[in-house]
Structure 1
Amino acid sequence: MSRIQLHPPVVNPASLGKVAVLFGGSSAERDVSIMSGTGVLQALQSQGVDAFAFDPAQRPLQELQTEGVDRCFIALHGRGGEDGTVQGALELLKIPYTGSGVMASSIAMDKVMTKRIWRFEGLPTPDWRLVASAAECEQALVALGAPMIVKPAREGSSIGLTKVTDAAQCAAAYAAAAQHDPEVLCEQFIEGEETTCPVLIVDGEAQALPVIRIVAPGGNYDYQNKYFTDVVQYLCPSGLNADEETEIQRLVVRAFRTLGCRGWARADVMIRKSDRQPFLLEINTSPGMTGHSLVPMSAKVAGLSYEQLCVQLLASASLDALQR
């Protein structure tokens, strides 16, 4: 599975019609979305696609219909963009869009619901507690052990995330997460190697792309280091042995299918140092497309340029109803 080789899409740009690239929005990830969307827009235009920018925070979505848009590339991140709400609106407007449908988008955005489904299906994910106060956060630390990750249940890009090592940190960690989401997730910390693996629908089948191993200074892969510095090392090829890479790819494809995702996604996986057991952390159904983003990096190793990837994703745009 690890040796997948992608081929450039054979698509007539005119057949894609008028395209709106949705980016910006009003979530906490607006700045990252603008970087993603700007890159996607430039890539599509460079390939001859009739594409233009559309910011749902500045224009009502109904204007997509009056503009005569044929399909949308969703480059929105966070709530209001990848949580099923925009997807539902586009379904009502009958405008095909990239990525997962309403239900899969909604579930994947909710880390707790995602973990519940994965656990039910027998997929490995770290133990967790859903907490509603700093006191419950301290109780979770006792149950899960230190270190522990505290984060909003429905945010991305490591926003509001804290690594807790003792009870004295719980109140501040809870407050940092709760300011972004009333549902706060406490998660067992997996000591080991951090990896991520994209999934792309190729010829109707979910295919895992090459795994990326992430090496951050001090293990601090936070919002700043993700998007605004060059201190993080992204290793692709990952340097993992072939069996480990294949197992991670197999796992993320199962995770993708279990949630009913479509189009593309990227799953984050930790490899436990003690026994090399992989654990699914979360899955992103609208991955970043910035200069630091990982799906384009992995796709390039598999033979697909950033521009070709954007065209392939756009060509896959559809409505949920067309999948049934």
Structure 2
Amino acid sequence: MTRPPTDSPAQRVVVLAGGISHERDVSLRSGRRVADALASHGLQVELRDPDATLLPALLADRPDVVWPALHGASGEDGALRSLLEFLGVPYVGSRASATRLAWDKPAAKTLVERAGVPTPHSITLTRDAFRELGAESVLAVVRGELPGELAVKPAQGGSAQGVSLVSSDDELRRAMVLAYTYCDVAIIEQRIRGTEIAIGVIDTGDGPVALPAVEIEPLSGVYDFEARYNAGETRFYAPARIADDVAERATAIALAAHGALGLRHLSRIDLIVDGAGTPWFLEASVMPGLTETSTIALALDAAGHDIGWVYAALAQAAIRDEAEERNP
């Protein structure tokens, strides 16, 4: 992993955190952690909310790079990144076009499946189709194709908000209602039982590198919002307690998914390893949580990397990439 030269001048970084999504509080925590890590490496850091004053401020006093530590729609649907591209401001993270694909879970599943990555069998349903065709009729058809335990989740969103694990028809009905409160499109997916792992992928200029897999063991049995962000609710193991050959397959899948979605700089690929040792792709995050309980920090520590160094390297990679795209 390329590190920034120690004699390079400090760069001015604007870290964006907060926003108006359901994940605002998580974003604020991530942003503070990123800002602290960058500052510890000597960079000049400004932490700010992406409000109506942001774009005029960027035009009036352009930073060297922006780090959008934003979760949910405000940071991961590609809109803000498109505006930064129009302004010509370098930023850490995937380009807007790739972000839109990863943000849309059905599209992401399709792309990684085409790349040969296994992902659970599923169906995507809009709220309108669910209503117009009759909820009971639709669910009867779904149950015929997807028996057993299921996972229901909004087609867009993060931090497990709106996600339900169901094993009965009544639970499925309630899960659909919950998912539709977060998004007009829902995914019903075959539930794979096994070991849940997250693999961070970092690219500071020499190509994507997978970090050690982090095993996730929620004490409640479900890795929901509370289990993700409340200390003590989940046990993490870095590296994951999986066989070496399984870890190698999971790493290959994470890198394949990162590449199939066209991601850059930083991503987190969520997988589940079944009883036979097969890793299954669940989803990708283009701006994973970077809080004190997030898996990226645990994986960087397990790999022996200093977070300040890595985050600074990512900031400088964003500057280099912007320059290369403008002057190929």
Range of TM-score over shorter length = over 0.9
Q: Which moved further from structure 2: 113-122 or 182-191?
A: 113-122
Whether the 8 Å contact between 2:115 and 2:256 is mirrored in structure 1 is: no
Q: Which moved further from structure 2: 242-251 or 50-59?
A: 50-59
| Structure 2 counterparts to residues 32-71 of structure 1, below 5 A | 32-57=26-51, 59-71=53-65
Number of the residue aligned with 2:96: 102
CA distance in 2, matches of 1:227, 1:293: 8
Whether the 8 Å contact between 1:195 and 1:214 is mirrored in structure 2 is: yes
| Structure 2 counterparts to residues 118-137 of structure 1, below 5 A | 118-132=112-126, 133=130, 134-135=135-136, 136-137=138-139
Which of the residues 9, 18, 31 maps onto 1:14?
9
Q: Which moved further from structure 2: 32-41 or 228-237?
A: 228-237
| Structure 2 counterparts to residues 1-324 of structure 1, below 5 A | 9-12=4-7, 14-16=9-11, 18-57=12-51, 59-132=53-126, 133=130, 134-135=135-136, 136-137=138-139, 139-273=141-275, 275-318=276-319, 322-323=324-325
Q: Which moved further from structure 2: 213-222 or 84-93?
A: 213-222
Quote the offset at 1:235 in angstroms: 0.5
Q: How many residues align?
A: 317
Gaps of 5+ in 1: 1-5
CA distance in 1, matches of 2:45, 2:8: 10
What secondary structure sits across from 1:61 in the alignment? helix
One-letter amino acid matched to 2:97: M
Quote the offset at 1:277 in angstroms: 1.1
CA distance in 1, matches of 2:35, 2:204: 22
Q: TM-score, normalised by structure 2?
A: 0.91
CA distance in 1, matches of 2:152, 2:203: 32
CA distance in 1, matches of 2:98, 2:295: 21
What secondary structure sits across from 2:59 in the alignment? helix
Whether the 8 Å contact between 1:24 and 1:57 is mirrored in structure 2 is: no
Once the two structures are superposed, what CA deviation does each residue of 1:151-187 show, in whole Å capped at 9, x if it has no partner? 1001000000011111111221111111110011111
Quote the offset at 1:11 in angstroms: 4.3
What secondary structure sits across from 1:292 in the alignment? coil
Quote the offset at 1:69 in angstroms: 1.4
User: Percent of counterpart pairs with the same letter?
Assistant: 30
Quote the offset at 1:67 in angstroms: 2.1
CA distance in 1, matches of 2:7, 2:143: 55
Quote the offset at 1:201 in angstroms: 1.0
CA distance in 1, matches of 2:87, 2:205: 27
Q: 1:12 to 1:87 in 2, by over 3 A?
A: farther
Give the aligned CA root-mean-square deviation in angstroms: 1.8
One-letter amino acid matched to 1:92: F
Q: TM-score, normalised by structure 1?
A: 0.92
CA distance in 2, matches of 1:21, 1:138: 47
Quote the offset at 1:33 in angstroms: 0.3
CA distance in 2, matches of 1:258, 1:220: 28
Q: 1:59 to 1:238 in 2, by over 3 A?
A: same
CA distance in 2, matches of 1:310, 1:232: 25
CA distance in 2, matches of 1:137, 1:256: 33
Whether the 8 Å contact between 2:10 and 2:44 is mirrored in structure 1 is: no
Q: 1:171 to 1:320 in 2, by over 3 A?
A: farther
Whether the 8 Å contact between 2:112 and 2:256 is mirrored in structure 1 is: no
CA distance in 2, matches of 1:310, 1:202: 9
What secondary structure sits across from 1:36 in the alignment? helix
Quote the offset at 1:321 in angstroms: 8.0
